[in-house]
A and B are shown apart, each in its own frame.
Chain A
């Protein structure tokens, strides 16, 4: 242990600073940044969006970056001014490894031309099937950023570079490995999505007309709207709470079906906290149904408490079950077609579900997120206006 600490302090200086990092996929290079401070605390950054690296250890000339949320590691040999190694996370079918390299410094910031900026309706082609997606691009001080949105929500912030009429934007968080490459061809974007080491999906996109291209989030999951919504789950002390609890009688209720492990749920939490602060005094309650990872109440409650503290959640959080879509659906038999974390339920004063919003679009989507905030507030106002 002493030897390890000595080794760590001996190489702390070379690791410290900003690294332009890359994963080498079969068909392209996924660029991101790694930032390490003097105490060997680090973060992975995609443009302006960063997440903490759980731990960085150094043994001899090898650095190990551990991303605890996904049990993933980047192991790299330290050279004079570069790192080479592999990103790895482990499944039950074998190791999933992707070559990793990094050099000291910062990726250049390359803002995109106005022809690319804005929202595009994309069609993805795999085999003979097609599926809709939305791409959104905007310039930031860190360069080109974007969003990649599917029916169930977006995949977080994408960041990248442009050269002439071509661009690449990428997202890496320790689990998701996505690189979107494309070019402007007249009034059409054409490109390839690289998912993981070797999945490639061709796509084309045209300027969004403003008409809905994706299935609206209110049409993905359906609910029994005839009967009162019945539920009963333990709070973080183990006490059962149900829809019959007097605190909900005659009130508008918003239920957030979420998980502390879910990045999109983290993006949604501040908005829901804001919604609570705005409407609670007028008779609105919010309850979070947490679907967690282990099924062990001690571990899962600890993760839920951490989530509550991180976002200063003032409303009730309940431990509802496991974060498997099928298992979640089994605990909520009055919903059909449950597909996405988070899913938000809007419930009237009579206890019946009025609206189900599947998924959540995060800050990367810009105007879409703004519209979503308005939609949530409007939904609550309408329920409050009901007799």
Chain B
């Protein structure tokens, strides 16, 4: 069996895009299946005649957070609603996540509705950079909206520099962790000269990929740039662009904007 590491090449990007398109089209947690995204706060009502989220075919329910525990209450009965798990309720699915007191409820239809396939710029190797992360000492933890519009704790870990269109740009990198594991992502949320024309106005996300050599370098492949979920559905709030992460030149690589989603996202630095 041939040895090898993850192929960081055009075929790998094609495969990732195909996987993502399949997920968008068929997954029960596709952004195209989302009907509503609602902060729970002191409690919300959903279902037939629900004040916060009216849903036909579901008896009126109330979602309440008490002492860090979520419950679904209807007709004097209640059941726990676990976080970070897709729960079937009548013809819908519910997914609650976020820190206590800031819990967000996503309500999904049974299947994605009219998913738009994403469109991409042709793969362009000139937008693939080998970069080094210039670390910061502060490692400030801040709350930001992730690609899915849900608030997460993110650690400021440093910057990377790229030369695009003859101009060097320094981009901030935040580490966003996954609960309960040792995994995390090094994310860059950036704007560039294609926004408002070919790409989503609020900006796009891209990950830093660790180099195969393990020598501390990273791969920054803008062909892997992807839209925040607010580009797919106006149910999702859009992350505000990250301060300083603007590249004046157009980065004609990665995901384009196919229309739909939030039409006028806020464009102001966080």
Name A residues whose Cβ lies closer than 8 Å to a Cβ of B: 20, 22, 24-29, 82, 86, 88, 90-95, 97-99, 101-103, 126-129, 176-178, 181, 192-193, 195-201, 293-296, 321-324, 326-327, 329-331, 333
Residues of chain A contacted by B106 (CB below 8 angstroms): 92
B56 within 8 A of A: no
B135 within 8 A of A: yes
Contact B16 A97 (CB under 8 A): yes
A339 to chain B, nearest CB (A): 11
A-B contact pairs, 29 of them (CB 8 A): A27-B210, A27-B212, A27-B214, A29-B5, A88-B19, A90-B23, A92-B29, A92-B97, A93-B147, A94-B20, A98-B6, A176-B181, A177-B183, A195-B181, A197-B6, A198-B207, A198-B209, A199-B183, A199-B184, A200-B214, A294-B87, A321-B69, A322-B69, A324-B84, A326-B68, A326-B69, A327-B68, A327-B70, A330-B67
A196 to chain B, nearest CB (A): 4
B215 (CB) vs chain A CBs: closest residue: A27
Residues of chain B contacted by A177 (CB below 8 angstroms): 183
B172 within 8 A of A: no
A362 to chain B, nearest CB (A): 17
Residues of chain A contacted by B20 (CB below 8 angstroms): 94-95
Contact A94 B6 (CB under 8 A): no
Contact partner, B137, options A128, A323, A324, Cβ 8 Å: A128
Residues of chain A contacted by B8 (CB below 8 angstroms): 26
Residues of chain B contacted by A181 (CB below 8 angstroms): 214
Expressed in whole angstroms, the Cα–Cα distance for A234 and B84 within the complex equals: 24
B95 within 8 A of A: yes
CB-contacts of B12-32 with A (<8 A): 15-16, 19-20, 22-23, 27, 29
Q: With A86-B19, A196-B183, A199-B183 in contact, do A327 and B82 touch (Cβ < 8 Å)?
A: yes
CB-contacts of B198-217 with A (<8 A): 207, 209-214
Does more than half of chain A's interface fall in helix, strand or loop, or is it mixed? strand
Expressed in whole angstroms, the Cα–Cα distance for A24 and B29 within the complex equals: 26
B134 within 8 A of A: no
Known: A24-B6, A95-B27. 15 other contacts (CB 8 A): A26-B211, A27-B5, A27-B213, A91-B29, A92-B95, A93-B148, A128-B137, A193-B182, A199-B182, A293-B82, A294-B82, A295-B81, A322-B69, A322-B82, A324-B84
B1 (CB) vs chain A CBs: closest residue: A103
A4 to chain B, nearest CB (A): 20
A84 (CB) vs chain B CBs: closest residue: B1
Q: 9 closest Cβ contacts across the A-B interface?
A: A326-B68, A295-B80, A195-B182, A103-B1, A196-B183, A92-B29, A330-B67, A330-B69, A322-B82
Does more than half of chain B's interface fall in helix, strand or loop, or is it mixed? loop
What total count of A-B pairs have CB within 8 Å?
134
Q: With A93-B146, A196-B183 in contact, do A99 and B7 touch (Cβ < 8 Å)?
A: yes
Q: With A26-B209, A295-B79 in contact, do A95 and B23 touch (Cβ < 8 Å)?
A: yes
A74 to chain B, nearest CB (A): 14
Expressed in whole angstroms, the Cα–Cα distance for A322 and B67 within the complex equals: 14
Residues of chain A contacted by B7 (CB below 8 angstroms): 24, 99
Contact B4 A24 (CB under 8 A): yes
CB-contacts of B62-102 with A (<8 A): 66-70, 79-87, 95, 97, 100
Contact partner, A321, options B16, B66, B80, B213, Cβ 8 Å: B80
Contact partner, A326, options B3, B86, B100, B137, Cβ 8 Å: B100
Contact B181 A26 (CB under 8 A): no
Residues of chain A contacted by B86 (CB below 8 angstroms): 92
Expressed in whole angstroms, the Cα–Cα distance for A72 and B6 within the complex equals: 20
B171 within 8 A of A: no
Contact A196 B181 (CB under 8 A): yes
Expressed in whole angstroms, the Cα–Cα distance for A245 and B137 within the complex equals: 56
Expressed in whole angstroms, the Cα–Cα distance for A197 and B4 within the complex equals: 14
A237 to chain B, nearest CB (A): 18
B194 within 8 A of A: no
Residues of chain A contacted by B29 (CB below 8 angstroms): 90-92
Expressed in whole angstroms, the Cα–Cα distance for A230 and B83 within the complex equals: 25
Contact B5 A26 (CB under 8 A): yes
B139 within 8 A of A: yes
